[in-house]
Amino acid sequence: MINRKILLASLLLIFTVLSACSREKNTCRVVKISDGDTLTCLTKGNKSIKVRLAEIDAPEKSQAFGQKSKKTLSDLVYQKNVRLSLKGKDRYQRTLAIVYYQDKNINLEMVKQGMAWAYKQYSHDPIYLQAQENAQAKGIGLWADNNPIEPSQWRRTREKSIWLLIIKRSVKHFPISNVKMRLFI
């Protein structure tokens, strides 16, 4: 009976130590904020890691609330030691992670403060959508805007506008006489 208690206590101690080591391994100091959902941090070995906050999508820097979102993330974690719960890599090879500062989920905090959307396309945890609905109901952050535009939609609209501008300028330099041209996009 005593041996079982000693064994159980030993296993618990080992688990606690391994858990602490794992946390230590995924900690870093935030040294740059790119926008409301991207930051750069340095590990203890001075390795730079570009981190994309998982589960959320913040306004782009040139989009309405983009700068406010960036400042909010900066206020929450800039020059602070954070813990990363790694989720993989995105298509730009940024580390996807849930970022924690003093056990607070910063990704979720950004949504709660109305500074990011729950990224429906990639979100796996319903708590983010619930936080978004709460912020929306209270008119917090970007939800104070009458018609906030999701970053993914804003990016598509912007890309289309850029292409239309390029085509317009190209057609201007290559006049075609006696031809009616239609452009379908």
Q: Which residues are catalytic?
A: 52, 60, 94
CB 59 within 8 A of CB 66: yes
CB 83 within 8 A of CB 102: no
Query: How many alpha carbons fall within 13 Å on the CB side of residue 169?
Result: 5
Residue given tokens 């390029």 in the structure block: 166
Residues 6+ apart with CB under 8 A from 160: 185
| Ranges of H-type helices in the chain | 2-25, 66-77, 106-112, 126-138, 151-173
Structural tokens at position 83: 């813990």
